[in-house]
Amino acid sequence: MQQRLTRALAELELLAVAEPCRGAGIGTLLLTAAEELLAAGGCELMFAKVRLTTRRVLLWYRRRRFLVAVPREPVAVEAGRAMVSFDDGGDGYQLVVKSLLPGTRVSRVNTGAGTCLVVRHERPSTPSTSSASLP
Ligand SMILES: CC(C)(COP(=O)(O)OP(=O)(O)OC[C@H]1O[C@@H](n2cnc3c(N)ncnc32)[C@H](O)[C@@H]1OP(=O)(O)O)[C@@H](O)C(=O)NCCC(=O)NCCS
């Protein structure tokens, strides 16, 4: 199960572009390249930890189809026949999560005891009503 989980999950530990070079598309190129590389290697779910105070970066990930977890919100992943969950650890960071499996995306579900993020098959698209609020 651990081997299956290691293959299915990838953390983007650090993505940073030097300040004078920001806004030129380099961050998007690096992120896309990482996503493609991981997906080709069989990775199902990619996540990063973003500082709670950097709303601009959280929004940057959200525009790139990552779902922003609320602090301490669990992310549940299938590993073999078991479900494994993890969260941000409560250390001042927030998780941003994206499914790399074609036709799926990470969704928020209500568990009764709170909410949880899981990978689900996408529904046919409907006209979107975007909002600037988080998550
Ligand atoms: C998040 C980060 C990697 C993005 O890199 P980047 O090369 O600036 O990214 P891009 O150029 O692809 O996109 C920048 C976005 O900001 C806008 N922008 C314009 N001018 C900008 C500027 N001077 N600085 C930053 N963003 C700018 C771009 O239009 C773009 O908007 P969009 O999201 O609507 O497309 C970069 O801001 C960074 O290194 N931040 C600090 C480190 C960090 O917090 N990393 C995340 C933790 S894993």
Write the pLDDT tens digit of every residue in 101-116: 888 899 999 999 899 9
Instruction: Please state, for a pLDDT cut of 90, what percent of the chain lies above it.
Output: 70
Choose between 37 and 134: higher pLDDT: 37
Query: Could you tell me if residue 131 is inside a domain?
Result: no
Query: Could you tell me if residue 126 is inside a domain?
Result: no
Could you tell me the distance, in angstroms and rounded to a whole number, from the CA of residue 72 to the centre of ligand 1? 25
pTM, 2 dp: 0.86
pLDDT band for position 132 (50/70/90)? Answer: low
Could you tell me the distance, in angstroms and rounded to a whole number, from the CA of residue 89 to the centre of ligand 1? 25
Could you tell me the distance, in angstroms and rounded to a whole number, from the CA of residue 3 to the centre of ligand 1? 34
Choose between 129 and 86: higher pLDDT: 86
Q: What is the pLDDT of residue 125?
A: 63
Domain assignment of residue 10, given as a range: 2-121
What is the secondary structure of 26-75 as a DSSP string? HHHHHHHHHHHHHHHTT--EEEEEEETT-HHHHHHHHTTTPEEPPTT--E
Rounded Cα gap, residues 111 and 127, in angstroms: 27
Q: Which of 60, 96, 130 to mutate to test the pocket of ligand 1 (most atoms within 8 A of CB)?
A: 60
Total domain count for the chain?
Answer: 1
Query: Could you tell me if residue 8 is inside a domain?
Result: yes
Q: What is the pLDDT of residue 112?
A: 92
Query: Could you tell me if residue 132 is inside a domain?
Result: no
Read off the CATH number of the domain in which 112 is found.
3.40.630.30
